[in-house]
Structure 1
């Protein structure tokens, strides 16, 4: 079949993310309220901040704001992760990064499936943070064996989804009709099911081990547990949620508010308590409740280099050691104050971040630079080209996640106050073996984007050799 007959993977991703949003909005009405709130605040922020709007337009990022969201799922066994990787590949999404959440008390390790090149990210940057349960962290051997037996019986993919994944791999793509069917079938994997696969007693036993373990093991599939719109002002969203009848978590996870946002800040509304029917003596089963699905909001900033991440991790660790958020969040203000004071040590202007190589930038030749290049040799240092207005450096947006922040969101929405501590070390090798491929290094991807943009900008200015 001719490749011309296939729909682009980016278009399949857009079809899927739109269908996912519609499904989640129908299942969790408060998500629709959250989307409206974020849209209102983004519109106001763009109206108030012309430089922000101009930067988004210049970098072709304005249109993606409304598209931008990420989801999160939790898988139970290696075979599920292996097939999920194949499913996301049909949509042009690849595993980027390895995250060990066990260090923060959550018994999973994870990756993010997302597009990786600039064009695909501009078209639709949809991501899915995907976790695999670490059954070896269940201390009770009998309970661990029981969880394995329960998971062994389930198949989270429809037969037609598997067939279409195979067709895409065999033929190199899907036709529009096949893509539409693929989205319909793939969506079934992420749908909520109110019927559990275990008894109430088994569910409660697994909850005692860890509520996330129960969430993964006791249901037919990895129901999408949140979708996340991107806001341009997360603090405004946090303040406004109660006005819309939404109860936010106590703190915004990640770095503090800054003039130059870095990495990722996240908040959420609390998980819904939903009616569930457990396996029982009656045809309908035993009625109970489960909390798993919630609403999350994110604000994305500039991607940091290895040096920048080391500084961020050091400052965040010092903050968390000085002030630990209690279960009720009553000391949230103390934590936020400590966080802001610690992060004074992190430069808060883009030029310093660039010169000190703490963050990644996209370079482009300016109109003034192009005009000058037509009449003179402009080749000096990058810093000099910047100073003379011949070269522009714009922030590269962080497309990935933060393990401590992710764990904080998970913990605040699992219900219960217990904090688990795991001694197990991260095991990227085992995770990649289950995945079937190695994960991409997110820092290398950002470095490649920065290097390519600088080379192109220098070429545009007629500079054929590297400059310092």
Structure 2
């Protein structure tokens, strides 16, 4: 291997975020329509509100306005989480925060992998909300054992991705060609799977326990289940979505519209029902959706 300069982790993250967005747009055409609507809305707002445009220029936010803010995935085992933390570290992303979603009836706990320094966020604010299935919450012991065995049989990372993670750790980074290869290989972990690894009846059993359990256990790997672009006027996007053939959530989540926006407001289109080939039959699975957010001012420094 020739000793050449390493690409910064921030640039690798930026390239990965762009590749992920392109892949998701190809896989979910409705997401492409949502991105176009958000871009149109943002352009309209910037034209009609020069004060806001000036503020975004001053803070540098304008440069990253059209970058995806975050995505989300769900993992099945602690070993998968340990390896994905190494994968994200190559891109300058570290786990921030802990979220136990079981009080909300969702059998996972989660963290967000992200960059933490302002200059790094300026290059790419992309973060991935990463959830780990809590198998101990599956009440039926036979079903729990089946889920454990299904997850134990899979490997969600390509051999090339694992080798490049090892290389990045050993050499302190990757050169340009290796960084490009890493992005291509890492993307495979997040790709949609049209085939399941279980029968239709097994899928139904998992789904009856909780649909998220089926989403994690029934496939040979995870998939990005949503990406989130940022809009400057979420009410305008929500109102325009039906005209673009997109069915939005009934209401925007978060605080009501205010003259001085605070906190975060978000909406999404409903998860698509997509055809799946089980090992013994054809069926469908619903998991992937498109989300948008409008960021407001935080109420405290924390």
TM-score between the two structures when normalised by the length of structure 2: 0.97
**Displacement of 1:102 after TM fit?**
1.2
Q: Which residue of 2 aligns with 1:10?
A: 10
CA distance in 2, matches of 1:150, 1:180: 32
Matches within 5 A, 1:14-33: 14-33=14-33
Question: Cα distance 1:125–1:2, how it changes in 2: closer, same or farther (>3 A)?
Answer: farther
Which of 288, 292, 295 is 1:300 aligned to? 295
Q: Is the 8 A contact 1:3 1:172 kept in 2?
A: no
Whole-Å Cα distance in 1 between the matches of residues 156 and 20 of structure 2? Answer: 16
Paired with 1:296 and 1:157, the residues of 2 have a C-alpha distance of: 26
Contact 2:16 2:183 in 1 (8 A): yes
Please list, as runs of the form range in 1=range in 2, the aligned pairs for 1:4-403 lying within 5 A after superposition. Answer: 5-280=5-280, 286-304=281-299, 359-360=300-301
Post-superposition offset of 1:4: 6.5
Q: Which digits, 9 at most, give the CA deviation of each residue in 1:401-440, with x for residues without a partner?
A: xxxxxxxxxxxxxxxxxxxxxxxxxxxxxxxxxxxxxxxx
Q: What are the superposed Cα offsets for residues 210-240 of structure 1, whole Å, 9 maximum, x if unpaired? A: 0011000001111111111101111111111
| Secondary structure at the counterpart of residue 196 of structure 1 | coil
Tell me the matched-pair count: 302
Corresponding residue number in structure 2 for 1:418: none
How many angstroms apart in 2 are the aligned matches of 1:3 and 1:48?
A: 51
User: How far has the Cα of 1:2 moved from its partner?
Assistant: 9.7
Supply the distance in 2 between the matched residues of 1:263 and 1:94 (Cα, whole angstroms).
23
Q: 1:149, CA displacement in angstroms?
A: 0.9
Distance in 1 (CA, whole Å) between partners of 2:59 and 2:100 is 33
**Does the 8 Å CA contact 2:21/2:68 hold for their aligned counterparts?**
no
Query: 2:234·2:294 contact (CA, 8 Å) conserved in 1?
Result: yes
In the TM superposition, what whole-angstrom CA distance separates every residue of 1:321-373 from its partner, at most 9, and x where no partner exists? xxxxxxxxxxxxxxxxxxxxxxxxxxxxxxxxxxxxxx23xxxxxxxxxxxxx
SS in 2 for 1:30: helix
Task: State the shift of 1:244 in Å.
Answer: 0.5
Q: Kindly provide the CA deviation profile for residues 384-417 of structure 1, in whole angstroms up to 9, marking residues without a partner as x.
A: xxxxxxxxxxxxxxxxxxxxxxxxxxxxxxxxxx
Q: Is the 8 A contact 1:164 1:182 kept in 2?
A: yes
DSSP 3-state at the match of 1:79: helix
Counterpart secondary structure, 1:83? helix
CA shift digits 1:54-104 (9 cap, x unpaired): 111111110100113311100011001111111011111111111111111
| Matched position secondary structure for 1:195 | coil
Q: Tell whether the 8 Å contact from 1:38 to 1:230 is kept in structure 2 after alignment.
A: yes
Contact 2:197/2:220 (8 A) holds in 1:
yes
Q: Name the structure 2 match of 1:417.
A: none
Answer yes or no: is the 8 Å Cα contact 2:17–2:68 preserved in 1: no
Runs of 4+ aligned structure 1 residues displaced above 3 Å come to 1-4
1:263 CA displacement: 2.5
Deviation at 1:297, TM superposition (A): 0.7
Say if 2:41 and 2:231, in contact at 8 Å, map to a contact too.
yes
Say if 1:68 and 1:195 are closer, same or farther in 2 by CA, change over 3 A.
Answer: closer
Structure 1, unaligned runs of 5 or more: 281-285, 305-358, 361-442, 444-468
RMSD value, Cα? 1.4
Name the CA distance, whole Å, in 2 between partners of 1:250 and 1:115: 33
Asked if the contact 1:3/1:173 (under 8 Å) is kept, the reply is: no
TM-score normalised according to structure 1 size: 0.63
Q: Deviations over 1:180-236 (max 9, x none)?
A: 000010000000110100000000001100001100000111111111110111111
Q: State the shift of 1:253 in Å.
A: 1.5
Q: Indicate the SS of the match to 1:43.
A: helix
Q: Describe the shift of the 1:3–1:40 C-alpha distance in structure 2 as closer, same or farther (beyond 3 A).
A: farther
Following superposition of structure 1 onto structure 2, how do residues 393-432 of structure 1 map, counting pairs within 5 Å?
none
Deviation sequence 1:116-171 (CA, Å, 0-9, x none): 00001111101111111111111112211111111111110001101101111111
